[in-house]
Amino acid sequence: MLHWQELILRLVLAAILGGLVGIERQRLDWAAGLRTHMLVCLGSALTMIVSSFGFSDILGTPNVSLDPSRVAAQVISGIGFLGAGTILFMKHQEIRGLTTAAGLWTVAAIGLAVGGGLYIAAATTTLLVLLILVVAKPYKNRISRRHQQNEIHLLVQAGSETLTLIGKTLEDNHLPFLHINIRQSDKPGMNHVDIRLNRQIEQASLLNTLNAIQQLPGVKSASLKSL
């Protein structure tokens, strides 16, 4: 059995390492923040300690066999329900919270490592997690902007002539598009037109094109959304 000083050290260290990751998530105001990450890491560490040392009193008992990893293994599978609760499904097939869910899963593993006495592995993983969450984020945003798409939403009078004019305006302004989706509006004789552009375009060019489309006959309203 662990000495009580070592036991306290493992639990406190797990709470600290989990809290370091939680601070970054708390800064972005995610549902799983500082306290959640600390609790997950602390609970995982305690589970690992129980799994490793909690059954030492019955070792050697006839007809009893133990697998020390069995209890700890349930943390990895059980953390899934908590991670799923941090994932949000937004409109336009957008999913948010996957990074936080992955962070919780990793923090659980950090707790298991601390509970098992693997301090260097736990500390190194914590450092790498923070580097991924903080340092790598600007590069991720830069890559995302390169592939960012824009969508133009229009309310137009039904009829092919208006669509032809819209298509010509896009062509004149060198704005290639992936597809055009036409939906019937609740207003009689009106249609919703959604135009998905296929690459990142300068904001000034987008606004100029949007203004030109808005001036076309048959176009009642126009708006722009970045995806």
Q: pLDDT tens for residues 60-97?
A: 677 767 776 777 788 877 887 777 776 765 555 556 77
Q: What is the DSSP letter of 174?
A: T
CB 195 within 8 A of CB 177: yes
Spatial separation of the C-alpha atoms in residues 120 and 113, rounded to whole Å: 9
pLDDT (0 to 100) of residue 122: 92
| Tens of pLDDT, residues 93-142 | 556 777 788 888 889 999 999 998 999 999 999 998 888 888 776 665 56
- Rounded CA-CA distance 216/165 in Å is 7
- Name the residue with higher pLDDT: 144 or 135: 135
Per-position b or e across 170-197, b if 16+ CB within 10 A of its CB: beeeebebeeeeeeebeeeeebbbebeb
Counting residues of the chain whose pLDDT is more than 90, the rounded percentage is 13
Domains of the chain: 4-144 (no CATH), 149-226 (3.30.70.260)
b/e sequence 46-56, b meaning 16+ C-beta within 10 Å: bbbbebbebee
Summarize pLDDT for 10-20 with one digit per residue, the tens. 999 999 998 88
3-state secondary structure of 176: coil
